[in-house]
Amino acid sequence: DAGITQSPRHKVTETGTPVTLRCHQTENHRYMYWYRQDPGHGLRLIHYSYGVKDTDKGEVSDGYSVSRSKTEDFLLTLESATSSQTSVYFCAISESMTSGRLNEQFFGPGTRLTVL
Amino acid sequence: GQQVMQIPQYQHVQEGEDFTTYCNSSTTLSNIQWYKQRPGGHPVFLIQLVKSGEVKKQKRLTFQFGEAKKNSSLHITATQTTDVGTYFCLAGGTSYGKLTFGQGTILTVHP
């Protein structure tokens, strides 16, 4: 498996509290992504990064912010958690595009977040 | 925007039976990727298809990309209990912001 870790692996928090999830890679890949996975919805892209301090929104970005101050770290923040953000969060990485096409993604182990 | 429909949502088979999952896009794709996720695990890359009409094989798995590059399929011959999991397609393009996963097909294999 690619060198990707996520922390924490499990978290229970209360509505209205801030939460930060961390993704750390040792592969020096340029691209990093945050997804959420919910039953019936598959994997949905929240935010992604194409370089240090370069980030953009995905399909379901409302209520989430991200930061990438170093190549190896990509942080996902829920400023004020809501119950609808209860989910499993996956971080993924990939190398730069090849011939204009996206490369394979390597996923971290996931973080299970419960918002009460 | 780009939409990807994956069917079926669930598939139960007896060990030894074949299995197929399909992904259909509303737009022409530059490429498509397939991933497998074991229960409790994370998605793992299986393969990428790029060319119109492309067919690739990995042991008992056969992947196809349609001629119009709007659909793709994953076929498993003679399923085994180790094939259990959820299979996802990822519709690719030239923009990372337009990445779209199919909803996934959950495969159960009964011994």
Distances B34 to A16, A105, B56, B104 between C-alpha atoms, Å: 37, 10, 12, 10
Above pLDDT 90, what percent of chain A? 84
In this model, does residue A33 exceed pLDDT 90? yes
Burial of B85 (0-12, 13-18, 19+ CB in 10 A): buried
- Please give, rounded to a whole number of angstroms, the shortest distance from the CA of B20 to a CA of chain A: 18
Interface of A with B in 63-92 (CB under 8 A): 90, 92
- CB of A9 less than 8 A from some CB of B: no
Tell me the mean pLDDT per 10 residues along chain B, length 111: 86 97 91 94 95 97 96 98 96 68 94 91
Residue B34: its H or E element: strand B31-37
- CB of B94 less than 8 A from some CB of A: yes
Phi/psi for B97 (5° steps) reads -70, -15
A109 to B42: CB separation less than 8 angstroms, yes or no: yes
CB A60 within 8 Å of CB B1: no
**pLDDT at residue B1 in the model:** 58
In this model, does residue A10 exceed pLDDT 70? yes
B103 to A50: CB separation less than 8 angstroms, yes or no: no
B6 to A42: CB separation less than 8 angstroms, yes or no: yes
- Rounded to the nearest integer, the mean pLDDT of chain A is 93
